[in-house]
Amino acid sequence: MDGEPTSDGTPPPPPGDGEPRPVSSGGDDAPATPEEPSTSTSGPRPRSAWNRPTSIAASTVLALVLGFALTVQIRSTDEPDNPVAGQREEDLVLILDEIDDREEVLRRQIADTRQTLDDLTNGQEQSDTAVAEAQARAEAIGVLNGTLPARGPGLRISVQDDDGTVPAAVLLDAIQELRGAGAEAIQVDDVRVVVSSAVTGSPGSLRIDGTLLEAPYEIHVIGPTAAMEVALNVAGGVVDDVRRAGGTARVTRAQTVSVDALVD
């Protein structure tokens, strides 16, 4: 009977699924209206009707994925790798302000470092200059005091006094004229002449600071050669005084004169 379960408990298949629909069981013998054949009799039902929504959804998802990938690819190509990409405008402003602050700090540090270097360089140069000046002053004082030897351009003066007639005053005048012309160091024979030196004795027996001199008197002097030479040869000067006293004086320029006698 239709609609009743079979002997094994399974419900009967619905009409049209593999079996012909039953005809009417009426009392007349009119022919039954034929039914259109079912498409299911030729094989399994096609799945396109059931799978159409799934296919549409899959196509939509695939299109979205492809579109997103294309967008990412375009943005990756057009925009370089930038650590601030995607930042908000407010964040970018803060980042720029921080960069400006750091740049200003670095500039100040560079300026301070340069100033320190300049100060050190200038300080070293000033220190070197001060040391050099101090050494030069010490040497000059040593030369004037007669405690240091000296070498340089100057004059060699030879005073001949064969008769012993040249007085101490003439020799003293020669020393003073040389000092006035800028002499830096003076030596007579083996005696160093300094500020406190004194010329004493009588003609033929002259002394400087107690040391006896012997004629001819050899005077070595360092200083401006031209000025000293003019001072000695001026009319009525030292050369004339020596001649009037009975002696002779010869003045010679020299590129290098040694004054090596020292004061004890």
Do 92 and 165 fall within a single domain? no
Same domain flag for 154 and 137: no
Supply the pLDDT for residue 107.
87
Is the CB of residue 173 less than 8 Å from the CB of residue 241? yes
| Contact assessment for residue 222 and residue 154, using Cβ atoms and an 8 Å cutoff | yes
Residue 58 in any domain: the answer is no
Q: Could you give the CA distance from residue 108 to residue 75 in angstroms, rounded to a whole number?
A: 40
Do residues 249 and 162 lie in contact, with contact meaning Cβ atoms separated by under 8 Å? no
Give the CATH number of the domain where residue 219 resides: 3.30.70.1880
Give the Cα separation of 43 and 182 in Å (integer). 140
Give the global pTM. 0.55
* Residue whose entry in the numeric block shows the structure tokens 């031209």: 226
Tens-binned pLDDT, residue by residue, of the chain (264 aa): 444 444 444 455 554 444 445 444 444 444 444 444 444 444 445 444 445 555 555 555 555 555 555 454 444 444 455 555 566 777 677 777 788 888 888 888 888 888 888 888 887 888 888 888 888 888 989 998 999 999 999 999 999 999 999 999 999 999 999 999 999 999 999 999 999 999 999 999 999 999 999 999 999 999 999 999 999 999 999 999 999 999 999 999 999 999 999 998
**Within a domain: 196:** yes
Specify whether 198 is located in the same domain as 254. Answer: yes
- Residue 191 main-chain phi, psi, to 5 deg: -115, 130
Q: What are phi and psi of 77, to 5 degrees?
A: -80, -40
Q: Quick one: 154 and 125 in the same domain?
A: no
**Residues 103 and 139 occupy one common structural domain:** yes
Q: Which residues of 211-228 are buried (b: 16+ CB within 10 A; e: fewer)?
A: eebebbbebbbbbbbeeb
Number of domains in the chain: 2
| Predicted pLDDT at 69 | 53
> Which residues constitute the domain of residue 239?
149-259
- pLDDT, residue 22, reads 46
Instruction: Show the DSSP H helices in 188-237 as ranges.
Output: 225-233
Q: What is the C-alpha separation between 58 and 64, in angstroms, rounded?
A: 10
Cα–Cα distance, 195 to 197 (Å, whole number): 6
pLDDT in the model for residue 59: 54
